[in-house]
A and B are shown apart, each in its own frame.
Chain A
Amino acid sequence: MPRLKLNWMLLPIASLALLQQAHAQAVFPSPPELTPIKVCPGAFPTDLEATDCRYTASQRALDFVSGSVTDQSVLGAVVFGLGAQVIQSPSEWKRTWDGYGRRVGSRYTQALGKGTAQYLVGLMFNDDPRFLAYRNDPSVITRRRTAISALTKRSSSGLAGASPSPQSLDALSHDGWQRFGHAWYDVITVRRSTMQGNGHRIPAISRFAGEVAGAYVGYPWYPGPENTFAQVGQRAAGAFGTAVLSSFYTEYKPEITNLLGAVFRRGRQSKSNAGKNP
């Protein structure tokens, strides 16, 4: 129940993010003199391997099989099943091999159900569910390029001393709420899969369908008290949380990497020896 409440609280944030993104895309038109930008969803800008931006049938099938059928989903079921075994959830299943088997089986079935629904609905809508970081979003790249172009022109026309507009400086920064908003925006919307990667955004119906299907497919496994509407909703919300985490990981990957890297870093330059830039 608290999870549902949390989701309702997060809904306005997501709506704000939507509005913010729409505003951001409206403020800066693409400069006519610069070449058009092609960024495939989920791919890095100017990636030469991504000549065809479509989320192809084989890519969709690979993601489905590797994420929901084979060892990854088995491992997920085994690990999270073990966690459920420790806290004895649901309480009706005892801490026996039989209980563990049910916990693993129910989780594997849910992963399979979620993947199948997402695969089928995604196929129907021809969507592209891959997440994209804010800095790699084509609209953001266009705005940044426009701002830099304006600064360069200002410099070459002898106006270097004049301070650039706040909008230009905003566009040059990756920080702030825009990234947070973009991560939410990417969770609740997907793009249409197109050759050029310019498919418009649509609600992430395949993702929602996957979460709901995954939650409901556990129905035959779970004991009666676990199959109430609220319980199933909780399971769906929990599964949706993994999509949220995944989107935020894509957005904040450089920071997460730096954080993890700091833990493992060897051979730091000593402070006394590091020197300072002028």
Chain B
Amino acid sequence: MKLKTMTLLAATLLPCLTGCHVALQPYRLQHPAIDVPPPSVSPSQTASTNLPAKDCVDTKSPICLAFIEVDDMGELFDKSELDTALRLIRQANDLAKTEPGQSDPIVLTFIHGWKNNASLENDNVKGFQAALQEVYARFKGTHRVLGIYIGWRGNLIHSYFPVAQQFSYFNREATAIRIPGAMLSSALTQIATRTHENPKALAIFIGHSFGGLLLERTLSETTASQIAEATIYTDEAQAAQDTKEDSDKTLAAKLAVDSRADLVIYINPAGAATEARQMLDFLTFNRYTYHPLRDSQSATQTEDDPERPLFVSLTSTADLATKVALPIGHGLPYLGFKSNGSFRELSEQPNKKYDLACFDPHNAQHQTWALTTKDQGAVSQGSYYLSSAPHMQILQSHVMLKSVGANQMRVSSTGQTITVQDPDAIAKCDRDLFNKQNLNVVSTFRLADTQACFAIQVRPNRCNGTPYWLMEIDPDVVPDHSTIFTQRFISFIIDTFFAPNGKALQRLNPQLTH
């Protein structure tokens, strides 16, 4: 009798369990690109995104959003989605070239994270649309903005089942690791190359949460190859004996540069720091610095030509998902790797060393050095596996300072308070006034709503001075893991990375030098 009851109960519950899955499907095949209406209000006011979506067929549309969807195995659902996105980029570039008064486009490619997808009602889709409007408004309509939303099955379980949804963590992490491959990597390369058919157009890639992990795994290998190729061809062009060889090598170097993004942003990335270590080592070993504004004609570094990041990895200090859930989630696999002897430990023995190579072009004592012991801050390989990269102080290149009084700034990641001698620096939120006190601030910004002043400072005695910037940011800018489509965060991104020193970032012969 009991057996019968249990069987009946199981038979009743089984359909419920399967019914809580979100089906594997494309959402945008019928409408692979939609028109996003430009905000009709001032930038400080929020534009509505609840209007019915129109296809982006009019080349005059200043904001368009295209979708590219991949399945659980990393294959495209339909190549026509990629073709549509590439066609839109070409149209925007052609317009900038032929029509007077048309501006160079900004192409923003976004990969969402866990619990999201490309469905009509998805919050990330709505948020990304609003973010495109905000970017358009912040540049006062001077740039055509094209968004490309890369959708994958980030949401496996319906939100009516919150506990089961949490347990989909492992499954979705495995998917985010599995998807990167030839399809997505070539799609991103094509997007960057097509964008750079216009030499002043900007290609920005953004990944959030598992989307950050997915983007990093997709890009790392290809970007490292592109950087290496560009460096080799540039060196060979300089050493070339005849003009033809020189021009061939220069062209090859330019093609390699054009096939990568101008800036890659990881927001609250949910990947282990072991993912970032390889790229950091690559940039460190080759001593790369990045000058996106460098004009080869002048070739001198001026105040208008500051060092900028090629990769930025940002995480909120209040991001519980990567600060607490990630180490817990990685706990079991860690034990497996540990028992297999897969992790390297700190050691003094020559054949077992696991140092952290450091590089800072502005370090007065030495540009390169290595951290070898625990006292110096070096950690075992397993520790990198148990944390996301921007949460690791030893990898951080910058810190965020927040004004907490008339003459006090607080370091968001450590809570340390700094007294600023000149209160005008905070009142005016002026980078130069901060730097008069040797604070080494690279940029400042104000929150539009509270008017609070923030500053980005070079981390004192940092190990990482590469173009891969890593930092923790304040909860007043990003309050948690998921809330990223906010005016506050977009202001921070634009003021810090797109308008350094108050000047709009333009792509002029970007140079990675070493």
A interface list, Cβ under 8 A from B: 34-35, 37-38, 43-52, 62, 65-67, 70-72, 75, 135-136, 141, 144-145, 148-149, 151-152, 154-156, 160, 163-164, 168-169, 172-173, 253-254, 257-258, 260-261, 263-270, 272-278
Contact = CB atoms under 8 A, between A and B. Distances in A.
Given A261-B323, A265-B391, A274-B460, A48 B134 contact: yes
Contact of B451 (A50, A145, A163, A168): A145
B357 to A, nearest CB: 14
A69 B99 CA distance: 59
Interface stretch (B103-111, B188-196, B211-219, B380-388): B380-388
Given A48-B490, A264-B387, A269-B377, 13 more contacts: A44-B486, A44-B488, A46-B486, A48-B46, A62-B159, A168-B406, A169-B405, A172-B405, A257-B320, A261-B323, A270-B375, A273-B461, A278-B439
Interface stretch (B29-37, B59-67, B241-249, B422-430): B422-430
Interface residues of B, number: 83
Dominant secondary structure at the B interface: loop
B318 A152 contact: no
B424 A160 contact: yes
Contacts of A48: 46, 49, 127, 130-131, 133-134, 485-487, 490
Nearest to A64: B160
A277 B126 contact: no
Contact of A46 (B163, B317, B416, B449): B449
Contact of A266 (B324, B392, B480): B392
Given A37-B449, A169-B405, A267 B377 contact: yes
Contact of B163 (A47, A72, A156): A72
B405 A173 contact: yes
A46 B392 CA distance: 29
18 contacts: A38-B46, A45-B488, A62-B160, A66-B159, A66-B162, A72-B162, A145-B450, A155-B423, A163-B406, A172-B406, A253-B320, A257-B324, A261-B317, A266-B387, A267-B394, A270-B375, A270-B377, A278-B437
A261 to B, nearest CB: 4
Given A145-B449, A270-B377, A277-B418, A46 B487 contact: yes
B161 interface: yes
B332 to A, nearest CB: 15
Given A154-B427, A264-B327, A258 B317 contact: yes
A62 B391 CA distance: 33
B274 to A, nearest CB: 11
B379 A267 contact: yes
Contacts of B324: 257, 260-261, 263-264
Most buried by A among B49, B320, B416, B479: B479
A51 B47 CA distance: 7
Contacts of B133: 48
A51 B488 contact: no
Contact of B392 (A148, A253, A267, A277): A267
Interface in B392-418: 392-396, 403-406, 411, 415-416, 418
- Of residues A35, A155, A169, which shows the largest number of chain B Cβ atoms within 10 Å of its Cβ? A155
B224 interface: no
